[in-house]
Amino acid sequence: MSTEINKKKEDKAIFKPLDSLLHSELRLAIMSILIGVNEADFVYIKSATKATSGNLSVQLDKLSVAGYIEIEKTFIGKKPCTLCRMTEKGRDAFADYVETLKQYIRE
């Protein structure tokens, strides 16, 4: 019986790893913004996250390289505009991340 109890404790101690790319405060904030909209521009994301331009650019690039977001650089008149959209891969990764967090909470 003791072995059975230890086995149950071991099973509970094993958690699915969290996606390290999403387990960053700023990247998680970016994804949380993008999950609810079709697209958001750089200025809006910067304002909503209170991030510096440099840090935001780096984190957007990491999400883009991973295929979690798409970045489109355009112009509105003569003013540059960077638009960000979550990809299907990003939606799946975000949903998986949230489900994994729920498992952590339940255990």
Say if strands 40-41 and 69-76 run parallel, antiparallel, or are unpaired. unpaired
Query: What is the radius of gyration, based on Cα positions, of the chain?
Result: 18
Mean pLDDT computed over every residue of the chain? 89
- Residues 41, 83 contacting (CB under 8 angstroms): yes
Residue 76 placed within a domain: yes
Q: Note the pLDDT tens digit of each residue in 17-31.
A: 999 999 999 999 999
User: What is the per-residue pLDDT for 2?
Assistant: 47
pLDDT score at 10: 52
The domain that contains 42 carries what CATH number?
A: 1.10.10.10
12, two tokens: 């509970």
The answer to the question of residue 105 being in a domain is yes
The pTM assigned to this predicted structure is 0.83
Looking at the DSSP bridge assignments, the partners of residue 69 are 86
In a domain, 51, yes or no: yes
Q: Which residues contact 16 (CB under 8 A, 6 or more apart)?
A: 100, 103
Identify the pLDDT of residue 78.
93
Instruction: Tell me the pLDDT tens digit for each residue of 28-65.
Output: 999 999 999 999 999 999 999 999 999 999 999 999 99
